[in-house]
Amino acid sequence: MALNLRQPTKEMIFHNDINSQYTSHRFQSQLKNNHMTASMSGREACWDNAVVERFFGSLA
């Protein structure tokens, strides 16, 4: 798992849109066990991550 390779700092935020694999109890437990906080935006809410959306839009 990437966590083992990266060894993130405490209180890391995992940002994603709402997909079933990210909302599952098992995944949320993994985040909690690794001192991570979930940050979920609504579906297709690009304004929540505008800087990254603009960057990827510039690649097209």
Does pTM surpass 0.75? no
pLDDT at 39 over 80: no
- Burial of 41 by CB count in 10 Å (0-12 exposed, 13-18 middle, 19+ buried)? middle
pLDDT at 28: 83
CB 36 within 8 A of CB 8: yes
Q: Taking the chain, what is the end-to-end CA distance rounded to the nearest angstrom? A: 30
pLDDT at 42 over 60: yes
Domain spans of the chain, in order of start: 13-40
